[in-house]
Each structure stands twice: as C-alpha cells, then as structure tokens.
Structure 1
Amino acid sequence: MNDPTPLLPPRPPRRPWPIATALLGVLGVAALAAGLAVPAFSEVAATPAPTAAPVTPAPSRTPLVAASSAPGIGEVPIDELADPDWIDRVAASAGIPARALAAYAGAALAVSRSAPECGLGWNTLAAIGLVETEHGSMNGAVLRADGTVAPAIIGRPLDGNGTEVVRDTDRGAVDGDTTWDRAVGPMQFIPSTWALAGRDGNRDGVTDINQIDDAALAAAEHLCEVGGDLTRPENWIAAVHAYNPSVEYNNRVAAAATQYAAVR
C-alpha cells in the first residue's frame, strides 16, 4: 500500500455503521474480517468457496497533488485533487479513463487527510472499479465528463440465485426493483449500503450513486472504515472481503491493483 500525504481538513468523527464479523483464512493464519452487515456488491456468492488463499497487491505511489488542493482551501471536488499531468500520464499508461482515474486518485487523497491511518492506495480503488463495472463502461454505459454514468449500471437481483438474499430496502427508488435489492452505479453499491456509505465527492450537495466521484469517495471511506490500516495485509483482505466476500473476487482485485501499481 502507499504512504499517502494528507490533503483535506479533517472531518468530524463518522457515525458507526452496523458491522458483521467473519473469519477469513490467509496463508494458514486466521484473520478477523469486519464488514457491513449487508455487502456492497451485487455478485456476492451465497457461500464463498475458498478456492485459494487471498492475496494482497503491490503498493502504489501517492499521486501528485494539484496546487488547488492545498490544505485550508476548503472542500475541493475530488476530481480536482490530483495533478492533471499525473492523471493524463497514468491514465494513458494504465488504460484507465482519465475521468475515472481522477475520481479514484482524488478519493484516495481525500481519505489520506480524513483517515491518515488508512493508507489506501488509488490502485485499490481503480482495481475495484475495473472489476465491478470496467470503470463505468459495463453494458454499454458511458462515463460522462461530469462523472455521471449513463445509462445506470444495475446488477442482477439479490434473490438467492447464486447470490445472498437481500430483499428490497428502498422500494425500488434507487435500483428500480421493488422485490429485491440490486447493486447500482460505477462502484456497485446496493441501496441499503449506499444509505449509510453515500458521500458527496463532487461537492454539489447531492450523494449520487451513479456519479463516480461520489461513488469512489464512498468506496474509499467504506474500505477505510472496515479495514483500518490497509497497509496491513490482513486488513486489506478484510476490507475487500467486506466489499465482496469471495476469495476469487479478492484475488482479481489484488491482481489488477498490482498491475496498476507498476504504472509510472
């Protein structure tokens, strides 16, 4: 993981979220995994199959900081926090849309100030964005310049058919399904998780599950809240496990994060 530089003024303590615990094996050692009672991701296996030991990614470098993001300047939209030249260079090298990378890097920089003990790397957020929705491009969706994804990316129903059972919690207001919950948006939150985790990353006064700045910041704070110090391998695994309790998912995210960490 990286050793991030604080950028934003500290926020007041966040309210605690409901937590469930589960034991996750890693290299023969039992690590305590703490996660939200309802997972964020749609494709959650009903009974995760431990086909291999979970792994962690290589560390990433902290992205360069834009001049406008200096401490004391106030709440800056997170897509403006990382240096534009860094965004353009890394986006081209990594094959990540620049608009998506600005959200991932900005979210990592934001939590480096609000939760400096977390150590979240931008590459972890980018890896989750890739695995979840191909950076907001899945199923023909388009990531617009304003950070919104259209049409909305909506996952399959959590009806127990290869997933956990999560009955409707939002009367279909977020996911359009009045029977089951579904994951929504570029980072694939389900409505009940978004109600707790939603953040205003673009500072427009609205928490929009389909807007990548809001979703990336929500994911960053979610990971830090669950995992604590993500530079510790067992904590990184626990945080990703809370996002999706699957060893296969963990290792896909770790592989992508390692690939992104190598980009200069």
Structure 2
Amino acid sequence: MSGSTRTRVVGAVLAIAGVLAAAALAGWLVVGLSTGERPDATSGDSTATAPAAAVVPTETPAAHDGSEAVVADISTLPDASWADRTAAATGIPLRALLAYAGAELRLRAEQPTCGLGWNTLAAIGWVESEHGSIHGGTIAPDGLVSPAIVGIPLDGAGVEAIADTDGGLLDGDTVWDRAVGPMQFIPATWGQFAADGDGDGRADVHRIDDAVLTAARYLCASGGDLRDAADWIAAVSSYNSSIDYNHRVAAAADGYAARAEGRD
C-alpha cells in the first residue's frame, strides 16, 4: 500500500551495505519474485532489522532529450528500443515498464535530487499487483488496468484498521478503506498525491501511468534522496512498514537491475 533520466543509460543497481550480505540478498531474490508469496500490502512485522540498501539509478535513455518536464504522457518518454530490450530481459510487461521508466524520467526533471530508479517502481508494482496482472488483470494500450484491482477491507483483521475516509468514492467501501489500483493506494494517500501521468487531464488510480507517477512523487516526498540507504528504506517503508515488504522490494529491484544489465 502506498503511501520519483535525463540522457542515456541502461538500468539501475542496488547498492548493498551494512547488515545486508550477498547470500541474504540472493535468498530474497527468490522470495521477492515468487508469484505465490506476494505480501499483503497492509500487514507484516515492522520490528526486524531493516536492510541497509539504497537503489542507485543509472540514467534511463529518453526518447525526448531534455524535454521530460513538458511531455504530458510519461509512457512516451523512454527510448523505445531500450524499453523493448529491458522488457524482454526482465519479464516486465512493456506497457508497465514504459510507465516505470517514464516516471523516473519525469521525476529526474522535476526533482533531480530524489534519485528514484525505475527498478524500485517496478519492484513495488510487482509486489503490489504483479504489474497489474494479479487476478488475471491486463493493461490496455492506453494504460487502463482491468479488471479493477481493489484490496481487502482494512478492518484490522490481520491488517491495519483504517475506517472509511472518502465515503467509498475511490474504493467502493463506505465502512473501511481499501487499497486500490495497480500500485495499491488507499484513498487518503491518493487524494493527496494523485497525478495525471498520461496527460488526459485527470488522475485515475486504475491507469498505470497515473498510478506509477503518483507512487514516484509519493516516494520522493517520503524519502528524500533515494540514492542514500536510509532514505531509500524510509521511502519504501512509507509505502509499507513491514520489514519483509522492504526486503521483497529490495530483492525485486536488484533482480530487475541485474537482468536489465545482463548480470543475471
């Protein structure tokens, strides 16, 4: 549950420091990329030792050199050939990857000190909804994820208890809040950070570009400089405070970077 490149490059790498050992990270890769063990976005143990890990992005190649801030549709920002190669190497659906990389490019222009890599966004997208494919979902060419992804009621039964905050406007539940969309936003966070990522004039939690750009801005607002280990952890923890969740996102982000760079 939730709640942001300029020229060339080919991916991003996960810098491992402090309490993380290479063997532990290798184990996380199996857990983080397992379709059978996607963690609930609102539960988990937050008392374990957090990984000292920071995602250090290299620059995603842009299709519109120097114009990231003025192109309305973030999915048009990444270089098409890079996106094709990276989607094939990582297994991330191309339409989702365009949103992740496009959001990195947009945030690199908007907030150059944030340092958020596309692979962190992709990792969160995987853990939250398997890139919009959970429960048989698909992403249309225009970015709409269907069927709509709506989480369980946050009623305190194994999850955080969050009473309805929006009259069911976003999640259809007038009793309890639920996490919604491919990036799993609760109504309050969506209401504060909702972004129009595809340039159609409105923010739709069920559209991948809008949801991913919103997540990117939220992470940058929550973490600071995500090239710093503590800031990266803080940003991901703001999405979900579970240490297990943090580990899974770290593992998936590292795995995507390694595959994109041909290291795996």
CA contact 1:80–1:102 (8 Å) conserved in 2: yes
| Counterpart mapping for 1:237-252 below 5 A | 237-252=233-248
Shift of 1:55: 4.2
Maintained 8 Å contact 1:42/1:189: no
The corresponding residue for 1:64 is: 61
Deviation at residue 163 of structure 1 after TM alignment: 1.0
Identify the residue that residue 96 of structure 1 maps to in structure 2: 92
> What does the per-residue CA deviation read over 1:77-122, in whole Å, with 9 as the maximum and x for residues that have no partner?
0000000111100001000000000000000110001100001000
Partner of 1:176: 172
Do 1:42 and 1:183's aligned partners in 2 also have CA atoms closer than 8 Å?
no
Which of 212, 217, 229 in structure 1 is aligned with 2:213? 217
Using the TM superposition, name which of 168-177 and 56-65 deviates more.
Answer: 56-65
**Corresponding residue for 2:201?**
205
What is the alpha-carbon distance in structure 2 between the residues aligned to residue 226 and residue 207 of structure 1? 20
| Amino acid of the structure 2 residue aligned with 1:43 | A
How is 1:1-264 mapped onto 2 (pairs within 5 angstroms)? 4-5=5-6, 27=19, 43-45=41-43, 48-56=45-53, 59-67=56-64, 70-71=66-67, 74-262=70-258, 263-264=260-261
Task: Work out the CA distance in 2 between the residues paired with 1:240 and 1:172.
Answer: 26
1:44 Cα offset (Å): 1.6
3-state DSSP of counterpart to 1:59 = strand
1:153/1:138 Cα in 2 relative to 1: closer, same or farther (>3 Å)? same
Q: CA RMSD in A?
A: 2.2
CA deviation profile, 1:112-153 (whole Å, cap 9, x unmatched): 011000010000000000000000001111111110101100
Partner Cα distance (1:253, 1:196) in 2: 23
Given that residues 76 and 203 in structure 1 are in contact (C-alpha distance below 8 angstroms), is that contact kept between their aligned partners in structure 2?
yes
Are residues 107 and 195 of structure 1, via their aligned partners in 2, closer, same or farther at CA, if it must alter by over 3 Å? same
After superposing the two structures, state which structure 1 stretch, 137-146 or 89-98, moved more. Answer: 137-146
Matched position secondary structure for 1:56: strand
**Equivalent position SS for 1:126:** helix
Contact 2:163/2:175 (8 A) holds in 1: yes
Question: More helix by proportion, 1 or 2?
Answer: 2
Q: Normalising by structure 2, what TM-score?
A: 0.81
Unpaired stretches in structure 1, ≥5 consecutive residues: 8-25, 29-40
| Uncovered stretches (5+) of structure 2, i.e. residues with no partner | 9-17, 21-38
